[in-house]
Structure formats: structure tokens, C-alpha cells
Structure 1
Amino acid sequence: MATITKLHRSTGTVYKARVRRDNAPELSKCFKNRSDAVKWARACEVEQQRNDAGLTTEAHRHTLSEAVTKYRAEFLPKLRPETARKYAQHLDYWQPHLGHLRLSELTAAKIAEHRDLLATTPIPSKAKSAEKAGPPRYRSPATVNRHLATLGAVLTACVKQWHWLQVSPLQQVAKGSEHNAGTRYLSEDELQRLLTACHESESPALLLAVLLSITTGARQGEILNLRWKDIDLQAGVVQVRVDNETSTKGGIRSLPIAAQVLPLLQARKKQRQQGKVTPLNDDGLLFPSRVSDKQPVQLRTPWETALRRAGIEHFRWHDLRHSCASFLARKGASLLEIGNVLGHKSANTTKRYAHLSEQHTHALVRGMADELLGTAGGEG
């Protein structure tokens, strides 16, 4: 039942609409004119009637903002801190831009519109002045795709966990093409210069972290979040635990520890044990921060310093992963083997290294032909 009450306030006259509902909280809202108050009250009554008749879908009852809030509470705490931080950053974009929409109103066209805005809107600069800000920077196709993937995780929960949606509208939204033409690989000379610079670094963790990355192909987050329980020094293997940040979607990869890396791990464990009455906690981080043992160390500054000393330009930590794949390909590893090492779920992800593997395959074929045919193939 709806009632309209005229109220006189210091700011002027308003009309307060009240809608009383059985077994539900009362709804109320103020308007500057009576006609708007009446329209709002009637709309509330119509919606209540639809609810009572079972005509309102779950997608109409919930907004995207509700879904995002629920996802933050139920799913983000289960992720690794770094992964949760990235997901939260993506959700910080979607919630204010599309959160007001009911799930029934969230169409593929609206998502695609904001996909394009993400790609064409400059990233806000942290510089204090325009002179220091430099030219505008834009999000890469890969970054835009990660934003879409996080939104997709929320909508998947709406479909499979909470049953607020029947189908995710994101399924009809195309992702941007991630061009890998600029994928950077280390040459063997660059690798030696980098390792020398890491060895001379003030950071005691940098050399070991870089060696683990280049020899296992694991992601930076996977390396820095390693715990002692993941390291089997006797067997010479490391268990890389992965979560939703990676394409493997959960599970564990077992990777061998290089013979040159094993002594460094043993020495680090011995150093961590010195001066402690209790044994080293197996659940402790391999690379803990000095600020908190529960947080991994930050290696950005030591890493950039090492690159500068080594004279290596336009190289990211993630390119160590690409370099590992390139070294494997040069040694004759197949795309399947490279994908297994890197933890790729889809063979398409490993195709960026196809040209490296093909070079070795072509050499094998030519060598086989020369051995079998000799000069016979050239005789007329």
C-alpha cells in the first residue's frame, strides 16, 4: 500500500512516498513534486506484484555491484595476496562504471563499450605536474583482457554459484588480440651479464629468485610466493602452486631444480635457520619481506638496478619466462614439453614459441635427410 505525504522543510516543500509491503521493509523516498512521488510508488507496487507472482527473475533482483561485493567477500580471500590485489584493482573499475546496472540490464554491448573505453582512456598519471607526467599511457590489449577475465569470474559465479544469471553476457564479448611480436628473449651473453649483476646486487634474494625464474619458467608471483614446504632439496624438485591468476586454473606443477641452483637454496635455508631456537617453519616464505615474514620481498628496485648495470634494456621480469622457453626450444624441446614446463593449459598459449621450436625441427629434418640420402638426392 502506498501513501504520499506533503512535508514542509527549510529547503522547500517535498513529497514523501511510502510503500508498505507484507513481510518486507517499508520503502520510502522524497521528491520535489507529487507526480514523481506517485510514479515511483506505483512502480514499487508493480514490482512487488511481479515478485509475488514469481515473474521477477534473479537477474532483475540483483545488481552487478551486489555481485562484485559478494565476490570480494567470498572469493578474493581464497586467492594469494598478489592475485587478490590484481582482481580487486580490476573490480575497482567495473563496480563504479557498471555496478548500478541490474544483472538483467548488463548486456554484451555495454560490456564491449567499456572494454573499448579501457583501451582508449589514458591511464591516470601519478606525477605531480604535467611536465613530469610525460606522454599519455594506455592499457595494453593484455591488460584490458585481464579486466574482462576478472569480470567474467564474477559473472561465472553469478551463473554457477549463486544462480543469479542463466548465461554470462561476457560470452558474447570479443577479447582484444594480444600481439606477441614484441616478446623479448635474453641472449646467452645478456643472461651472463644479468647474472653477474644479480650476484653483485645488494639484495640477498635477487640472484636466487632470478635463477629459479630462468631455469623453471615459473611466473614471478609463483617464485616469490614459494614456501619451504614446496622445496624438496633431496629430490631436487620444486612444487609450484598455482591459482586463478594463471591459465592452469589451480593445481601444482613439479619442476626440477637446476644443479647450479641447489647449493644456493641449501645455503639460504642454512642462513635462515641460524640463530633460531626453533626449526625453520616449513610454511614460511622462501623470500620473505624484511617488514613482514608473511609478505614476499619486493625486488623491483634491485631488479631494475641489475638490468641497468648489465646494460639490458626493454626487459621485464616476465621475459625471463619467455627466455626459459626460448632456451628450451633451442635444446630441442617440443611445444608440448614447453607448455608443460610453463604450465599452459591451452596449446594456443604456447604457439608464440612455435618459430623457435620449428628452427630446431628443421635442423633435425635436414640432418636426417643428409644422413639417409647423402648426395643421392641430388643425382639426376
Structure 2
Amino acid sequence: MPTIRKKGEGQYHVQIRKRGYPTQTKTFTKEVDAKRWATIIESEMERGVFVSRTEAEATLVKDVLQRFASEVLPTKRSEQSDKSRIKTLIEEFGNYRLASLNSTQIAKFRDQRLKVVGPQSVIHEINLLNRVLKTASMDWGIALPGGLPTEQVRKPIKPRGRDRRVAELEIAKILEATESLELRTIVTLAVETGMRRNEIASLVWDEIDLKNQTAHLPKTKTDVPRTVPLSRAAVKALNAFGVKEDGRVFALQAESMSQAFERACEPHRANIVGARFHDLRHEATSRLFEKGLNVMEVAAITGHKTLDMLKRYTHLRAEDLAKKIG
């Protein structure tokens, strides 16, 4: 049975001792609250479902968010973007106790954020919060009595993926419009290999084997290294750019690549409407399938981890499919 003692004016101290469980104590200002808490805890112990709330009640959400940012994020490729998301989550949930965080609060956050940013951004934020809470529970020993509240919230519906393909004529116009040999080489590599922007930016000569037509990517978005085959056109472009013994292949950073690409597409240059640098990855993925490669072969080149994501990047032309079926 729980023991409830009155200590001073308006202080009710509860102690629950049961074999097999650590002693639980808590102080309340109202006797009715003390009795209610004692009944709940004792019932959970009787049913064998009790989880200590002590550390979760003593820990603020911002404490685990900040710890995750300092201990876990530096090992991730998404560190910079996730740091911004951590800041948003701290502003919203930082002063809550872990034990009090619930799905209703997260659902309210979801609905408010959807008025400011797109569904995919909200999905990233909720997924990050879920990873933080899971790390706190599994690796840091902070038990969450009600489980992960993030797993009890309906995610926003993902926006329909872009289906923009960059036609061969458009690519030719972009290559002709830019005066930068570096950008021409980057665009060629992007459409010939399907590499992500950050992967191209991180290329080093030591990881490129032109003889065997491969480029090794030790760090990728999915944290899974892969080796990408280089087409003859890609090898030719790298040779024309100027092969070096070591160092980075390109001086441009990832964001600068997109900016340079958009400038080349401007009306007074290539005059290409609605194209983004990332569309080159869509184009490259679609071309690989059109060349007859199977799903596993394409995924090995592009680095897509799931069939669903691979499908979002593949936009086969109906007229090409019509030729195949006769």
C-alpha cells in the first residue's frame, strides 16, 4: 500500500514501496492528486507495466534536443539542416518536461507549421523529434512512460514529387549558355551519373578511377558509401576539365552549383523555364531505365534506398514505352 504523509502546510508526500521495483516518491499540494498518482503507479506495478517517470519528469525536451545536436548530429551528413530543425523544435517544445510531451501537442505543432512551411519540411521536423526521443529512450536510459508520442501522430501527406525532366536540347542550351567549364562539367556529370549535388561537390581526384570508369563516394546522404560508374561522356568531360593527382575536383560548393545552374537558365542566357539542378538527377535516373538497366542496377548507381523513392525519381515517357510494347 502507498504511504501518504502530510508535511507542512499543503504538502502531501507519497511513497510507494513494492518488491521488484525502485521506491517511488512524489510530493503534491493536494491530497486528492497524491491519492490519484499513488493509485495509478500501484496499479501499473501490479500489472507489470510500470515505467519510472522520475528522469523523464526531471528532464526538459530542450535538454535532449541540445544533447542530440552536440553528440549525434556531428556524425550525420544532415547536420546543418537538422541544426535548424532542432532550433525550431526547441522553440516549440523546449520548456516541456519529457514526461508531459504528448501526441496532442505534436499534432498542434504539425498543424501550425503547415501554415508556414510545406508538408515535407514538417515531416522532416517530426521525424527528427522522433529520432531524438528514441535516442533518449534507448541510448540514454530516459524512459518515456507513454512510449514515443511522435509515433502516435499522423504525418502530413507528402507532396507530389516533381516530374520535370530536362530534355537533351535544354541541356545543350545550358552547356552552351554558360562560360564556366566547371559548371559544364558538373552538369554533364549530374545527368550522366545521377549523383546528388552534395556528392558531386565532395568529389576528390583520389576517389576517381578514369581507367576503370568509376567514382567512389565514401560519404552519401544515406550514410552508405557507393561507387558510381562513369559513362564515356562523363570520363570525357572530366578529362576536358583537367585531371589532377589529388584534391577536390570542383571549387564550387553544393549551393553555388544550384545558383550557377539557375543563372545559366535565365531568359537572357539559355532561356530554360522551370528547371532546377536537382531535376538533373530525375533525368539521369529515367535515362538509366531507358537504357535497359533493372531496378537493382539503377539503385546501385543512384543510391536510392527504397523502391518508393526510386519511383519518385523515375519519369518514363509514354511514347518511349509505346515503342517497346509495339
- TM-score computed with the length of structure 1 as normaliser: 0.66
**Alignment map for 1:1-380 (pairs within 5 Å):** 42=11, 50=25, 55-80=52-77, 83-121=78-116, 139-166=117-144, 167-180=147-160, 182-197=162-177, 200-201=178-179, 203-243=180-220, 246=221, 249-270=222-243, 282=246, 284-288=247-251, 298-308=256-266, 309-352=269-312, 356=316, 363-364=323-324, 366-367=325-326
Q: Give the match for residue 14 of structure 1.
A: none
Which AA in structure 1 matches 2:106? I
Shift of 1:296: 6.1
In the superposition, relative to structure 1, how do residues 311 and 44 fare at CA in structure 2: closer, same or farther (>3 Å)? farther
2-side partners of 1:43 and 1:336: how far apart?
65
Which AA in structure 2 matches 1:172? Q
Which AA in structure 2 matches 1:259? R
DSSP-derived class of the 1:322 partner: helix
Shift of 1:268: 4.3
Identity rate, percent: 27
Shift of 1:73: 0.8
Shift of 1:182: 3.9
CA RMSD of aligned residues (A): 3.3
1-side partners of 2:137 and 2:89: how far apart?
18
Shift of 1:344: 1.6
Q: Is the contact made by 1:332 and 1:361 (CA closer than 8 Å) also made in structure 2? A: no
Q: Is the contact made by 2:183 and 2:257 (CA closer than 8 Å) also made in structure 1? A: yes
Q: Is the contact made by 2:229 and 2:301 (CA closer than 8 Å) also made in structure 1? A: no
1-side partners of 2:143 and 2:242: how far apart?
50
2-side partners of 1:346 and 1:180: how far apart?
17
Shift of 1:237: 0.5
In the superposition, relative to structure 1, how do residues 358 and 165 fare at CA in structure 2: closer, same or farther (>3 Å)? farther
Which AA in structure 1 matches 2:112? L
The count of corresponding residues between Structure 1 and Structure 2 is: 287
- Gapped regions of structure 1 (runs ≥ 5): 1-37, 122-138, 274-279, 290-294, 368-380
Shift of 1:65: 0.4
Q: Give the match for residue 20 of structure 1.
A: none
DSSP-derived class of the 2:265 partner: helix
Q: Give the match for residue 19 of structure 2.
A: none
Shift of 1:227: 2.4
In the superposition, relative to structure 1, how do residues 352 and 300 fare at CA in structure 2: closer, same or farther (>3 Å)? closer
- Gapped regions of structure 2 (runs ≥ 5): 1-8, 16-22, 28-40, 42-50
Deviation per CA, 1:251-270: give whole Å up to 9, x if none. Answer: 11211112122243245454
Shift of 1:332: 3.2
Deviation per CA, 1:16-67: give whole Å up to 9, x if none. Answer: xxxxxxxxxxxxxxxxxxxxxx77xx59999x97279995443223221011
2-side partners of 1:254 and 1:359: how far apart?
32
2-side partners of 1:217 and 1:74: how far apart?
32
2-side partners of 1:255 and 1:68: how far apart?
36
1-side partners of 2:281 and 2:143: how far apart?
38
Q: Is the deviation greater in 260-269 or in 208-217?
A: 260-269
Shift of 1:220: 0.9
Q: Is the contact made by 1:206 and 1:302 (CA closer than 8 Å) also made in structure 2? A: yes
DSSP-derived class of the 1:254 partner: strand
Q: Is the contact made by 1:288 and 1:297 (CA closer than 8 Å) also made in structure 2? A: no
DSSP-derived class of the 1:50 partner: strand
DSSP-derived class of the 2:231 partner: coil
1-side partners of 2:317 and 2:299: how far apart?
12
Stretches of 4+ aligned residues off by more than 6 angstroms = 43-46, 51-54
